[in-house]
Structure 1
Amino acid sequence: MKLDFDYVVIGSGFGGSVMSCRLVEKGYSVCLLERGRQWKMHEFPRRPNEIQENMFWDPEDGKYGLMEFRDTPDSDVMTLTASGLGGGSLIYANVLYRMPEEFFAGWPGGFTRQKLEPYYDKVISMMEARPYPFNTDPYYQDTPKTAALKKASLQMQQHPAALTPAEFQLPPLAVRFEGEFPGHQTLNSHGAIQSKCNKCGECDLGCNIHAKNTLDLNYIFRARNLKANDGRLDVRTEAEVSKVEFLEDHYKITFHVPQFPSQEIVLTAKKVVLSAGSVGSTSLLLKMKKNGILPKLNRWLGQKWCGNGDLLGMVLNTKENLDPTNGPVITGAIKYSLKNYPDSFPHGMYLEDAGFPNAIAWYISGKVPQITGMIGALCLVGSTLKKYFRKILRLKTLTEINVGDDFASALDRGAFTRKAMVLLGMGRDRSDGVVSLQDDGQTVINWDIKTSSLHFDRLREEMKKIAQNLGGTFLDNPLTHLDKVIAVHPLGGCPMGDNEDTGFVNTRGEVFGYEGLYVVDGSILPTSTGTNPSLTIAAVAEFIADQIPAKTKVLESETKELLKDS
C-alpha cells in the first residue's frame, strides 16, 4: 500500500516544528497539521471587533482565533495555549532559558544538562536568540522597567532559603534586534523577512511586524524551502485532528477544518508525531483510549501534569515611571537558587518583568480615569462653552487661539499604568496533576496548589520585596485568593520513562505499545523545568530527532543550501 507520507506531525509548536524540520532534512516526506491558521505580518487582531472575533479559540462558540483559555471549575489552575502556525511561539514572551543542572534529578534515560547542551546550542542558533541589548544599544537602553528590575535585585535582602545570592540576568530572547532603525526589515539567516524590534510590548498578542523569531520564521520556513534532498514538507493549517488509528504497519490520521467538523479528511503515514502540547496531545490520546481506537495506551497517560509554577503579580504606584509598555514583554530576570522541598525535591525559581502593549494602557486608563484627566476634560468643555457664549453675545475675547494644550490636558496621562510593573514568576512546582476526560468528552485538569505551596509562598515573598524596593504596592493576582493560578507553561500528561512501568513514552518520545507513534512536546517532560520551558522542549525535540536515522544520505554541503530562489 502506498502511503501519503512517511511522517505526519500534529501540532507546530516547539516540538512539532523542530521534528518537521529535522525529518525533512533527513529525507522524509512530512505533513505538518496545525489546527490554527497561519498569521502573516500585520494579520494579528488589534481593533476591538477583531479582538472579539479573532483573538480567542473557542470552537464550541464559533471562535477560531489565537489563544485558548481553559478553566476547570474543580481545579486550582487555568491554562493558556496557542492556535496558529508556530504554536506557542506566537504568544510566548520569547525567553529561551536552559534548565539548571540540578532540576534534571529524576529524569529518565540519563538526561542531564550536559547531555542536552549541544541541542540547546542548536535551538539558540536556529532561533537566533540573544540577550536583550540593554547594555549595548542606546535605543534599547531606554527601557526603564529593565533598569528598575536590575536595581531592585541589587537592593533586595536575600531569601532565608537562598543557597546563593539572587542574580539579575538578561535572558536570551528570540527577538530580532538587528537593523538600522526600529521596524527596519531585513532577512534572517533562513531567508525570512523580519523587522527590528520597536519595543511595542505586543509580544504576547502576536507580533505584527514579525520582530519575534517565531517558529514559522525559522524551523518551519527552513523545512518548507529545503532543496538539498528528497525530503519535503506539506503544511496544512486549519486542520484539527480528531482521530489517530494504528492499522497493522501504518497509521491513519483523520482531521477536519475546525469550522466544518463533519467534512473529514484522511491521511496515511508510516509514523506519527503528536506535538499538540501538554493539553492538546494528552486530550487527543485520552479520547483515542476511551473510544478503543488505541487501547494499549498505558496508565501513565494523563499523569505528572504541572503548570511550571507560573504566578502573575503586579506592582502599582511605584516611585518612578517604569513605562511597562516600553520594550519587549520580558527583558530581564532574577534567578533564585533555593533550598529543596522537605522531601529533597529540588527547588528554584525565576522572577521576570512583564510589560504590556499600549492598547492595554489606554484600556486601563479608560476604566480607571484619573483626576488630572477629568479636570482637563472639564476645563476644555468649560473653555469651549465660554467662547461660544462670548460669540453669541458679541463680546470681545483675548483668550488663546491655539488650544492644543487644552486638548492635551483633557487626555489621561497614564500615570496609573506608567508607574506599574507586571511580574511573571515561575519555578519548581510539583508534577502531581492529572488530565482526564469528563463524561461529555471535555478535557479537565485536576491539580491541587497545596502540594506546591512552598514554591508559591516563596515567590510571593520575593514579589513583595521587589514592590517594596520600587516604592510601590504589591497586588497579588486576585485568582490566587481562590487558590487559582494561570498556567501559561503547562507541562506533562504524557511523561517520559525508562520503561512502561515508569512512563508513557520512552526517552526517544515513542509511545510504549505503539511503534512509530511519538509524542514530542511539553507533555513528555517528567517534571517542571523551573525556567521558561520552551528551549528545553525544543532541545528534547532536537535530541529525539537526532536518534532517527536519515532516509537519504545528505552531504553536509548540501544541507547548507537551504533556500529556493525567490
Structure 2
Amino acid sequence: MNKMSRRAWGRRVLAVGGQLGLSSVALPGRVLSTGVMPGAAALAGLMTDAAYAAQCDEHVSNLVVGTGYGGAVTALRLARAGQPVTMLEMGRLWNTPGKDGNVFCKPFSPDERAMWFKDRISAVFSTIGGVIPVSSLLKVPVAAGILDVVSSPNMDVYLGRGVGGGSLVNLAMLITPYRETLQRILPAGIDINELYNVYYPRARATLGANKIRPSYFQNSAYHRYARVACTQAARAGFQWRTLDSGYDMAYMEQEEAGLVPKSALGAEGGFGNNHGKKSLDKTYLAEALGTGLVRIQPLTEVTSVTQAPDGRYVVTTKQIDVLGNVLANKVISCDRLFLAGGSMGSTQLLVKARETGTLPKLNEHIGTRWSSNGEIFMVRNVYTPTGSKASVLPVTGIDAYDHRDQQVYAMNIAIPLGIDLFSTAHITMTQTPELGRFAYDAQSQQSVLQWSASAKEEPIRSARAVYDKVNRANWSTYSRSWFGGKIVGDNATYHPLGGCPIGLATDDVGQVRNYPGLYVMDAALFPDSLVANPALSVTAFAERNIERIIARM
C-alpha cells in the first residue's frame, strides 16, 4: 500500500472512529498488543516490590504517550518498521461534528469545544480597548475542549488537546531555525548539517509544507495587514520573507474566491480549523493508522510511570468522557515507552516520577532548562489602512538582530475582528538567557513550572530593540489596548521548550539516562529557545531520533 493510500485509509479510520465515539481507533482485524497480562496474583511472582504488585490490564510492545508531532513521527516510523504501537492521547478525537455541523467551534461563538475544562476563554490579548477583559466576554461550558492553558506564576502556557496535539491549534508555521541557534543550543555530537540536509526536508515533505504564491499575496485583501507590516520592517532595514506553512495555500486561494468554506480566512485558528489545515491527523497519524499496526486511545491521561524489576515500564492511566467523568483506571505495561506529551506533559510526568520515587534514578537535569521560546506579543498602531479582512494563519515574518547582535524572528499575525484597526500584530521569538525549572508540589501532586518574573526582561529588550527601530522609521507606535495597559504581552507562550534537555537528561537520541527503553520524543528535548516556531524542529528531531532507535532495536 503506497503512502497516499495509507493516509486515505487512516483518515477513514479516524472519521469512523469519531462518528462512532469509539474509545480507541485502529484498523479492524489487527492484534496490537502482545497479550493481556495476568492478574495481580500472577504478577506477584515477577514483582518483588509491593509497589509494583498491581494488576496490569494490558501489555504492549511500544507505548507512545501523546499524539503531537513527536508522537506521530514515532508511531509512523515504528509501524513502518513492523512494530505494533499503542498511542495514548489526553484529548479527544476531533472528527465528530457538533450541532452546527462543524467539528470545531467558530472563534466568535465558542462553546464546549473551545477550552479544556475551563469555564471562560483564555487569550494572550487580555483586554479590548485597554479596559474590557476578554475573559469577561466569553463564558463557555466546562468540557474537554481543544485549547488548554496551564498557568504558573509569571507564565501561561497554551496547549492543544486532541488527537494531533498542537497541530490542531497552532498557526501552522513550519519554520527551520537559524543555523547559529542550533549550533549554540545542541550538544556537540549532533550533526547540524545532517539535520538541515536530511531531517528538516523529510519533515517538511511529510507535513506537506507549502508557501503562499507571491502574486496572490500581493493582491489578496486578506493579507493587506501583512504587506503593511513587511513594508514597514523593510523601511527599518529588516528582511522579510514568506513562511513555510502546514495550511493548504491552494485551499486558501479558493476561500477568497468563494469556492469553498472559509477557515483561515474565516477567523478559524486557535480553536481548530475546519478546513485547509494539514494537521497531523491528516498526515503522519493518518499514514500511521493506515499501516494497520497503530491504535490510538483518546481521552486517556497517564498519571504515573514506574519500572518493573524485569525492565518493563508500567503506566497508570485515567480514561474520561468529554464531561470529565472517569470511566476507567487502567494499568498498561510496555517494553518501550515513548513520551511525547510535549514540553509540559513529558517533563511534568518525569519530575513527578523522580520526586515520588517511582523512577528514582532520574537525574538532576530532569525538569531543567525550560524556555518560553522568548515569545513576546505586541500590537502597533501604524496609522495606515491594514484592511478589515485578515487571514488568521500568517504567511510572513521578519529576520532581525537585537541590541546584543543576537537573532530575532517575528511573525506578522492578524487580529481578525472584521474592522480596519490600522494596526499590525507580531509575535517575536528570541533567546532566553534565564531559563525555568520544575518543582514538585506534594500537596497538589503536580509538577509546577518555576519561571522568574525577571526571565522576560531580556526577551522584551530584544523585541523592543527591533520594533522601536521599526516604529521610528514609520512614525508608528505601540498600542496599549490589548495587554492590560502594557505595550507588550510578556507572560504567555504557545511554544514551550525544554524540561528534559538532550545530552543532559537524555542521551543523544532522547533515551532517558539510567532507563533503557524510556525515551523523550518531543519539545522537552530542546535545552533553550529555538527562536522559531518549534513544530518543524520537533518533527525533524523525532525523525532523526527514531531512525537511530529503530536501528539499535
Correspondence list, 1:284-433, <5 A: 284-316=349-381, 318-323=382-387, 325-338=389-402, 340=404, 347-357=406-416, 361=417, 414-415=419-420, 417=421, 419-430=422-433, 432-433=435-436
Q: Does 1:110 align with 2:189?
A: yes
For 2:187, what is the secondary structure of its paired residue?
Answer: coil
Q: How far 1:133 sits from its partner (Å)?
A: 2.1
Q: How far 1:239 sits from its partner (Å)?
A: 0.9
Q: Given the superposition, is the C-alpha separation of residues 108 and 533 from structure 1 closer, same or farther in structure 2, using an over 3 Å criterion?
A: same
CA contact (8 A) 1:134 1:140 kept: no
CA distance in 1, matches of 2:434, 2:246: 27
Q: Does 1:206 align with 2:272?
A: yes
Q: How far 1:150 sits from its partner (Å)?
A: 1.8
1:273-312 CA-partner distances (Å, limit 9, x unpaired): 0011111111111222222211111111110011001011
Q: Given the superposition, is the C-alpha separation of residues 215 and 139 from structure 1 closer, same or farther in structure 2, using an over 3 Å criterion?
A: farther
Q: Given the superposition, is the C-alpha separation of residues 352 and 152 from structure 1 closer, same or farther in structure 2, using an over 3 Å criterion?
A: same
For 1:64, what is the secondary structure of its paired residue?
Answer: coil
Match for 2:207: what amino acid?
M
CA contact (8 A) 2:383 2:423 kept: no
Which has the larger displacement, 475-484 or 93-102? 475-484
Equivalent of 1:78, from 151, 156, 164? 156
- What RMSD in Å do the two structures reach over aligned CA positions? 3.0
Partner of residue 63, structure 1: 143
Q: Does 1:242 align with 2:303?
A: yes
CA distance in 1, matches of 2:473, 2:317: 53
Q: Given the superposition, is the C-alpha separation of residues 178 and 551 from structure 1 closer, same or farther in structure 2, using an over 3 Å criterion?
A: farther
For 1:353, what is the secondary structure of its paired residue?
Answer: strand
Q: Given the superposition, is the C-alpha separation of residues 434 and 198 from structure 1 closer, same or farther in structure 2, using an over 3 Å criterion?
A: closer
Q: How far 1:33 sits from its partner (Å)?
A: 0.8
Q: How far 1:129 sits from its partner (Å)?
A: 0.7
Match for 1:495: what amino acid?
P
Q: How far 1:30 sits from its partner (Å)?
A: 0.4
Partner of residue 538, structure 1: 539
Q: How far 1:196 sits from its partner (Å)?
A: 8.5
Which has the larger displacement, 194-203 or 425-434? 194-203
1:29-54 CA-partner distances (Å, limit 9, x unpaired): 00111100122372112277x72533
For 2:299, what is the secondary structure of its paired residue?
Answer: coil
Partner of residue 151, structure 1: 231
Equivalent of 1:90, from 147, 159, 168? 168
Percent of aligned positions that are identical: 23
Q: How far 1:95 sits from its partner (Å)?
A: 1.0
Partner of residue 314, structure 2: 252
Give the TM-score taking structure 2 as reference length.
0.77
Partner of residue 172, structure 1: 244
1:364-416 CA-partner distances (Å, limit 9, x unpaired): xxxxxxxxxxxxxxxxxxxxxxxxxxxxxxxxxxxxxxxxxxxxxxxxxx34x
Gaps of 5+ in 1: 159-165, 187-193, 342-346, 363-413, 498-502, 553-566
Partner of residue 457, structure 1: 461
For 2:337, what is the secondary structure of its paired residue?
Answer: strand
CA contact (8 A) 1:491 1:528 kept: yes
Q: How far 1:142 sits from its partner (Å)?
A: 5.4
Give the TM-score taking structure 1 as reference length.
0.75
For 1:53, what is the secondary structure of its paired residue?
Answer: coil
For 2:266, what is the secondary structure of its paired residue?
Answer: coil
Q: How far 1:147 sits from its partner (Å)?
A: 1.2
Q: How far 1:325 sits from its partner (Å)?
A: 4.3
1:88-117 CA-partner distances (Å, limit 9, x unpaired): 111111111111111122421522431212
Q: How far 1:261 sits from its partner (Å)?
A: 3.7
Equivalent of 2:178, from 85, 93, 100? 100
Q: How far 1:272 sits from its partner (Å)?
A: 0.6
Which has the larger displacement, 260-269 or 119-128? 260-269
Match for 2:204: what amino acid?
I
Match for 2:440: what amino acid?
L
Q: Does 1:15 align with 2:70?
A: yes
CA distance in 1, matches of 2:189, 2:176: 17
1:328-381 CA-partner distances (Å, limit 9, x unpaired): 43111110145758xxxxx31112111144xxx16xxxxxxxxxxxxxxxxxxx
Q: How far 1:84 sits from its partner (Å)?
A: 0.7
Match for 1:23: what amino acid?
L
Q: Given the superposition, is the C-alpha separation of residues 138 and 62 from structure 1 closer, same or farther in structure 2, using an over 3 Å criterion?
A: closer
Q: Does 1:43 align with 2:103?
A: yes
CA distance in 2, matches of 1:551, 1:107: 22
CA contact (8 A) 2:87 2:295 kept: yes
Equivalent of 2:440, from 437, 459, 475? 437
Structure with larger Rg: 1
Q: How far 1:184 sits from its partner (Å)?
A: 10
Q: How far 1:56 sits from its partner (Å)?
A: 1.4
CA distance in 2, matches of 1:173, 1:95: 5
Query: Whose relative contact order is higher, 1 or 2, with alpha carbons under 8 Å and at least 6 apart?
Result: 1
Q: How far 1:449 sits from its partner (Å)?
A: 4.9
CA distance in 1, matches of 2:340, 2:117: 20
Q: How far 1:136 sits from its partner (Å)?
A: 4.8
For 2:424, what is the secondary structure of its paired residue?
Answer: strand
**Number of residue pairs the alignment of both structures matches:** 462
Gaps of 5+ in 2: 1-33, 37-58, 120-140
CA distance in 2, matches of 1:484, 1:305: 16
Q: Does 1:475 align with 2:540?
A: no
Partner of residue 489, structure 1: 495
Q: How far 1:22 sits from its partner (Å)?
A: 0.9
CA distance in 2, matches of 1:428, 1:140: 33
CA contact (8 A) 2:114 2:146 kept: yes
